[in-house]
Amino acid sequence: MAGNETGRSGARWLSLIGLGEDGVAGLSDSAKLLLESAELVVGGKRHLMLVRDLVRGKQLSWPSPISEAWPEIMAWRGRPVAVLASGDPFFYGVGKQLVELVPVEEMLCLPQPSAFSFAASRLGWALQDTALVTLHGRPLEAIIRHLQPGARILALSWNGKTPSDVARLLAARGLGEARITILEALGGPRERVVSGRASELSCGETDDLNTIAIEVPAGACDVALSLSSGLDDDLFENDGQLTKREIRAVTLSSLAPRAGEVLWDVGLGAGSIAIEWLLRHPSLKAFGIEERADRAERAARNAAQLGTPDLAIVRGRAPEAFSGLPSPDAVFIGGGMGDAGVFEAAWAALKPGGRLVANAVALKTEMLVLDLFQRYGGDLVRLGVARLKPVGGETVWNPGKPVTQWRVVKPCS
């Protein structure tokens, strides 16, 4: 490891060692040497037990929350420390958190095959064609967005109950014919594989350490969410305060989501705009500001049902409810545009180059939007939708309320 001197800490002092179910037997000679020479070894109780014959230094079992271990690890900076992780530490592992504390130049990572790699090899699946999901510590509904016709999904479980919970969720969504395979303790002497249809799967006693494989039937088009903007209105529980499908599709286009961005949805209502923003890419984040408790609860139900349980809902009145929120890359104002200070506060918080979109239906709000357009520029469009409707034995066009949409980009300087 010569030539890896870095700053005040010296050589690479922090070793991230991937561990499989076969324990010490699966470790390389280098990994064994690093464990034997470490003055501090950090890991879960199961991992520490697996390597106990090699450890000479102090042992630290992960506390709850895991972040409480960071000060202890950093106190040993510059001295040999080994951190144990399952499989690949940088694939849904502790590596992501540690690299935020320790420069990568001070680390040495020795990964093992991940649970995903083991599962794919058992099933004969190509990982690049498979959706990889973790349900560990996350809402079960996060898997819904991946339930596309013919999809193959690998999901890390939270515990032994997760496979049964996933099977029930699939059956409830009309995917009882989906095939589920439970792969337990992969790579070790306790390895077990169980398969069956979601509607009739009998999991029995399932090990907490398991990975779930899901094969969605190719004919499941009628129960899968569309990948386009503008989902059917019927998918959203609402009290009438819903941005309709066609207007919603245009609004998402105007908001122009990009990977990793944050949306503020002001006047959340049924949550349709924020939900469809989140569905565009798993890295996106959304904060919905809603004053009414009933609407906030309804939006939360919609978010869970449509696979975006990560929608953050802020109960409160704008602009006071903006306090403490991360700066947005995009803001949608669908309600409360005329309330004092809402636009000004949202505009001040918006990042340079960010987009603000406001939809107006009432004449008073339209006049306000027109005034802002004249002051700040941007684009102003009138959107109208008409649907065929039978009236007195005839079929006529029934126009909906026109929507005036203002889109403006905040200057970068």
Q: pLDDT (tens digit, 9 = 90+) per residue, 107-118?
A: 999 999 999 999
pLDDT of residue 257: 98
Distance between CA atoms of residues 254 and 272, nearest Å: 15
Vertex 393 angle, CA 391 and 395, to 5°: 55
pLDDT of residue 204: 74
pLDDT of residue 8: 42
C-alpha 5 chain-centroid distance: 37
How far, in Å, are 47, 270, 284, 325, 357 from residue 303 at the CA level?
37, 9, 14, 20, 21
Give domain 233-409's CATH architecture. 3-Layer(aba) Sandwich (3.40)
Among the residue ranges 81-85, 99-103, 388-392, the one predicted with the least confidence is 388-392
Distance between CA atoms of residues 320 and 340, nearest Å: 11
Q: pLDDT (tens digit, 9 = 90+) per residue, 297-325?
A: 999 999 999 999 999 999 999 999 999 99
Does the pLDDT of residue 5 top 60, yes or no? no
The pair of three-digit structure tokens given for residue 106, joined into one six-digit string: 């001070």
- Which of the listed CATH numbers 3.40.50.880, 3.30.950.10, 3.40.50.2000, 3.10.450.40 matches domain 116-222? 3.30.950.10
Residues of CATH 3.40.50.150 domain(s) within the chain?
Answer: 233-409
pLDDT of residue 405: 97
Q: pLDDT (tens digit, 9 = 90+) per residue, 260-280?
A: 999 999 999 999 999 999 999
The pair of three-digit structure tokens given for residue 399, joined into one six-digit string: 């126009």
Residues of CATH 3.40.1010.10 domain(s) within the chain?
Answer: 7-112
pLDDT of residue 9: 43
Does the pLDDT of residue 340 top 90, yes or no? no
Q: pLDDT (tens digit, 9 = 90+) per residue, 185-210?
A: 999 889 999 999 999 887 778 889 89
Does the pLDDT of residue 1 top 60, yes or no? no
pLDDT of residue 201: 83
**Does the pTM of the predicted model rise above 0.85?**
yes
Does the pLDDT of residue 18 top 80, yes or no? yes
| CATH numeric code, 7-112 | 3.40.1010.10
Does the pLDDT of residue 10 top 80, yes or no? no
All residues at 6 or more sequence positions from 52 whose CB lies less than 8 Å from its CB, including other chains: none
The closest alpha carbon to 108, from 133, 83, 125, 130, belongs to 83
Q: Calculate helix-pair angle for 272-280, 245-255, nearest 10 degrees.
A: 50
